[in-house]
Amino acid sequence: SAVISQKPSRDICQRGTSLTIQCQVDSQVTMMFWYRQQPGQSLTLIATANQGSEATYESGFVIDKFPISRPNLTFSTLTVSNMSPEDSSIYLCSVEGVGDTEAFFGQGTRLTVV
């Protein structure tokens, strides 16, 4: 299994600013994933983050808006840049446990942009 810690758990930000969300895993993992969950909606994959390479973004998401860092096998950050109220969502980090058949998720970061 894997235990994931996300920081911050929630934040209220002014439009036009940026917020960096941290994801820490208690074990080394190859791939980490970032999701967005808008109010009352399902999860949407933003990008896949591999250590030592650039993140792979899904359709509709770009690096300028959601830059991702992956400096080592236990840590990743997602930045939400130049925020607008439409970015108000829950952002979740996910990993697959080594040898497991399931994915593990952090508690999420609830972002409100005003």
CB of 73 to another protein, least distance (A): 15
CB of 16 to another protein, least distance (A): 27
CB of 27 to another protein, least distance (A): 15
Using CA atoms, how far apart are residues 82 and 111, in angstroms rounded to an integer?
Answer: 13
CB of 15 to another protein, least distance (A): 24
- Judge residue 68's burial from the number of C-beta atoms within 10 Å of its C-beta, 0-12 exposed, 13-18 middle, 19 or more buried: buried
Of 35 and 113, the one with the shorter C-beta distance to another protein is 35
Using CA atoms, how far apart are residues 101 and 5, in angstroms rounded to an integer?
Answer: 20
**Ramachandran bin of 73, using left for φ above 0, alpha for ψ from -120 to 50, beta for the remaining angles:** alpha
Of 92 and 113, the one with the shorter C-beta distance to another protein is 92
Of 9 and 18, the one with the shorter C-beta distance to another protein is 9
What are the Cα distances from residue 57, in Å, to 9, 43, 98, 101? 23, 15, 23, 23
Residues that bind another protein (CB under 8 A): 4, 31, 33, 35, 42-45, 48, 92, 94, 96, 100-108, 110
Of 40 and 85, the one with the shorter C-beta distance to another protein is 40
